[in-house]
Amino acid sequence: MQFSEKSSRVLKGRRSERFQRGGLGKSLISLALVALVLIQNQPALAWGNEGHTAINRVAAEKIPATMPRFLRRAVAEIAYLGPEPDRWRNPSEFALKNAQEADHFIDFERVSWLDPLPQGRYEFYRKLYEKRAATAATDHPDDFLPEHVGLQPYITTEVYGRLKAAFREYRQRQAAHQPTQAVQQAIIFYAGWLGHYVADGSQPLHTTIQYNGWVGPNPNGYTAQHSIHAQFETAYVAANITAKDFAGLVKRPERLDDPFARYVAYLKQSNGLVDQVYALEKDGGLTGKGSTAAFDFTTHRLAAGSQMLLNLWYTAWLESAVPVPEHAAPAPPAPK
């Protein structure tokens, strides 16, 4: 993600370039122009392209043999899809960009009064709007608008639900000896798409109002410059870390007993590490080759993303075997 101002958690999409056939001179000129455009239009992405791709790749390489073979063989496709939601954030697709900006973060400081978080997106909206209505105009009530708080756990568990439903369809079609190629493609897409948000959640600065420069009381003297976010997740990672540096930290998957609750706990653990990111920056650990402490911290955060992603894939696969009514009865309204 790009984090220069709170209202612009945005990024510019990569511009595609077409190579024209022609003579050698024209080709060289075209290559030079393409290189110049790409250099000038590098977006600052959440974990950067490198980090998102690596998190998805490591998780895909750890898929156990008990899960479908087609998924285990889709490592390259799943890795490619790691940065996918950041490709949807170009201003030229305004409706798409605007609708999903808040999916990439949650500011836990703004919902410290709401524990546990409701499992449904709209129940969460209701609580936020009630809080906003009860907040005095002098106390910044708009801080409680959903687009300012962030919706990270909701988009994540919604994509998880899509993946589980697709796995269920795959099982049913297999049992009925029907073609499965189309649903296989859907599963690969959902698995890769899910990886983006899970990876965002492992980056501590995606869980806090301190997302890009310290605000408010600052007794530790942390940087207030609007540069730490990209410095940590993009520049430092791209220069110093590859998938092989943290692949060994990712273990066999486990079945999550309550995916939503476990995912929120994962986000809160990440939120508890915000100070460490700022301390590393203050000590120069994120500059250039960085420090040993920065390398250890960052590889463990990347590994945490891969591990949670692998756990969610595995849980979705196992849960998809549980029979469900074809048309479940509507859930009762949530208590107010």
46 pLDDT band (50/70/90 cuts)?
low
Contact 159, 197 (CB under 8 A): yes
pLDDT (average), residues 19-44: 37
Residues 115-164: pLDDT tens digits? 999 999 999 999 999 999 999 999 999 999 999 999 999 999 999 999 99
pLDDT at position 326 is: 76
Per domain, the residue ranges of the chain are 2-107+150-319
Please check the confidence at residue 35 and state whether its pLDDT lies above 50: no
Secondary structure class of 57 (helix, strand, coil): helix
pLDDT at position 331 is: 72
222: amino acid identity, one letter: Y
Residues 313-334: pLDDT tens digits? 999 999 999 998 877 667 777 7
Please check the confidence at residue 31 and state whether its pLDDT lies above 90: no
pLDDT at position 5 is: 37
Contact 167, 317 (CB under 8 A): yes
Burial-class residue 291 by CB neighbours within 10 Å (0-12, 13-18, 19+): middle
pLDDT at position 336 is: 67
pLDDT at position 43 is: 39
268: amino acid identity, one letter: K
What DSSP state is assigned to residue 220? T
pLDDT (average), residues 94-113: 97
Please check the confidence at residue 87 and state whether its pLDDT lies above 80: yes
pLDDT (average), residues 36-63: 73
Stated pTM of the model: 0.85
Best CA proximity match to 113, nearest among 96, 90, 101, 130 = 130
Buried b (16+ CB within 10 A) or exposed e, 124-153: bbebbeebbeeeeeeeeeebbebebbbbbb
Please check the confidence at residue 220 and state whether its pLDDT lies above 90: yes
Q: How many CB atoms lie within 10 A of CB 54?
A: 26
Best CA proximity match to 224, nearest among 233, 215, 237 = 215
Cα–Cα distance, 73 to 63 (Å, whole number): 10
Find out whether the peptide bond into 179 is cis, omega within 30 degrees of 0: no
Q: How far is CA 303 from CA 54, 97, 138, 202, 243, in A?
A: 10, 28, 42, 9, 9
pLDDT at position 328 is: 62
pLDDT at position 329 is: 64
Average pLDDT, the chain: 88
Please check the confidence at residue 18 and state whether its pLDDT lies above 80: no
- The class of domain 2-107+150-319 in CATH terms is mainly alpha
pLDDT at position 47 is: 81
Percent of the chain at pLDDT > 70 equals 85
Residues 234-289: pLDDT tens digits? 999 999 999 999 999 999 999 999 999 999 999 999 999 999 999 999 999 999 99
184: amino acid identity, one letter: Q
Q: Can you read off the two tokens belonging to residue 329?
A: 């009865």
Please check the confidence at residue 63 and state whether its pLDDT lies above 80: yes
Contact 46, 1 (CB under 8 A): yes
Query: How would you write 274-324 as a 3-class SS string?
Result: HHHHHHHHHCCCCCCCCCHHHHHHHHHHHHHHHHHHHHHHHHHHHHCCCCC
